[in-house]
């Protein structure tokens, strides 16, 4: 297996911890006993930077499907041990659930067989001899849809920040990294100040705009290895790997300064919004998700208590 499959983190293997960009090397499983065709497909797919695994029989195909969790499957109908339709029936449930498209590839051109394969849930049906350009563009479309879906389940719609689900995944991943390698990280909790007032005074839509503008600013201000999440409502979280808490604090204060200076325009007047922040760092004593959040929350509470628009360690 190539580096990139193991080196990357959470939810779906291959999703990088950076914003708006799901970087992924997709794995394609080819189940076909035509050795020459398989070699040709492998070469063409690898040239497009896909990772290819190959099974020359149904049995081997099933094994690789369950072990490798490929991102897409090319499935021949005529296989030496079992029919591809049999294989399809066995795996389609799991494949649908995990959004793994199955593409049938066959020398069998009858409409009846094609209809049957589609009715069982294959996404596409490709006839041999394979037109490679047609094939590549079709796969590309499938992966575009997959990427949209992958992003949609981890990104908050309003703000474009990662959602709570991804927050939990990231936390788990970073803590296990820390335990394994000692790689530290800081966690900051950010909470908009007196935000209820913003809604009450300028309306909920204006409040939404502020949340968006705030999120844009934070995303622009952080490094690609940082992960910015909407923790809930007007509360956000920022993971900063390889960053001591003192340094994280400075980062947050810089963002606070820029945000506080930003002028929002309502119908009759302009206004400013600020946010408060609590920062904590993973270490030998604190390496549990709940405790980390609790510590950051306590620090955040201190920032609120001391007059808001500030960061506390």
| Count of H-run helices and E-run strands, the chain | 11, 12
Residues numbered 193 to 252 that lie near ligand GH3 (CB under 6 A) are 193-196, 199, 204, 207-208, 211, 233-234
Task: Convert residues 143-182 into a mask of x (bound to ligand GH3 by CB under 6 A) and - (unbound).
Answer: ---------------x------------------------
d(CA 239, CA 226): 6
208 binds, among ligand GH3, Mg ion, none (CB under 5 to 8 A by kind): ligand GH3
208: left (phi over 0), alpha (psi -120 to 50) or beta: alpha
- Which among 204-212, 216-224, 235-243, 253-261 is the span making contact with Mg ion, rule CB under 5 A? 235-243
3-class SS of residue 311:
strand
Task: State in Å, rounded, how far the first CA of the chain is from the last one.
Answer: 42
Q: How far is CA 156 from the centre of its chain?
A: 11
Catalytically annotated residue among 1, 108, 157, 234: 234
Instruction: Choose between 39 and 158: whose C-beta lies nearer to ligand GH3.
Output: 158
Instruction: Choose between 33 and 71: whose C-beta lies nearer to Mg ion.
Output: 33
In the residue annotation, 234 being an active-site residue is answered as yes
Q: Is 177 in the site for Mg ion (CB under 5 A)?
A: no
> How far is the CA of 269 from the CAs of 190, 192, 202, 227, in angstroms?
26, 20, 10, 34
Question: Binding Mg ion by CB under 5 A: which of 9, 41, 71, 76?
Answer: 76
Instruction: Choose between 109 and 196: whose C-beta lies nearer to ligand GH3.
Output: 196
d(CA 4, CA 279): 31
Structure tokens at 163: 């959602």
Binding residues vs ligand GH3 (CB under 6 A): 158, 191-196, 199, 204, 207-208, 211, 233-234, 304, 308
């Amino acid at each position: 297996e190539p580096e990139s499959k193991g080196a990357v983190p959470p939810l779906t293997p291959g999703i990088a911890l950076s914003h708006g960009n799901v970087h992924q090397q997709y794995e394609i499983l080819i189940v076909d006993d035509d050795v020459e065709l398989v070699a040709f497909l492998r070469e063409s797919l690898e040239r497009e930077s896909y990772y290819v695994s190959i099974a020359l029989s149904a049995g081997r195909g099933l094994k690789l499907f369950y072990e490798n969790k490929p991102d897409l499957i090319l499935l021949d109908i005529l296989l030496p041990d079992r029919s591809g339709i049999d294989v399809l029936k066995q795996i389609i449930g799991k494949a649908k659930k995990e959004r793994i498209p199955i593409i049938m590839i066959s020398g069998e051109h009858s409409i009846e067989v094609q209809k049957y394969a589609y009715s069982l849930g294959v996404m596409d049906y490709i006839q041999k001899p394979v037109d490679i350009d047609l094939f590549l563009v079709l796969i590309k479309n499938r992966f575009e849809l997959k990427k949209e879906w992958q992003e949609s389940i981890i990104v908050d719609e309003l703000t474009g920040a990662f959602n709570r689900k991804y927050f939990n995944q990231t936390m788990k991943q970073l803590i296990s990294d820390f335990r394994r390698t000692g790689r530290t990280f800081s966690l900051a909790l950010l909470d908009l100040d007196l935000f209820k007032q913003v809604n009450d005074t300028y309306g909920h839509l204006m409040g939404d705009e502020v949340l968006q503008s705030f999120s844009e600013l934070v995303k622009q201000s952080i490094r690609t290895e940082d992960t910015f999440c909407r923790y809930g409502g007007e509360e956000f979280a920022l993971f900063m790997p390889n960053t001591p808490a003192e340094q994280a604090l400075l980062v947050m204060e810089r963002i606070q300064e820029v945000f506080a200076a930003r002028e929002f325009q309502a119908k009759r007047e302009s206004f400013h919004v600020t946010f408060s922040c609590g920062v904590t760092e993973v270490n030998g004593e604190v390496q549990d998700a709940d405790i980390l959040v609790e510590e950051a929350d306590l620090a955040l509470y201190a920032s609120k208590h001391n007059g808001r628009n500030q960061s506390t360690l």
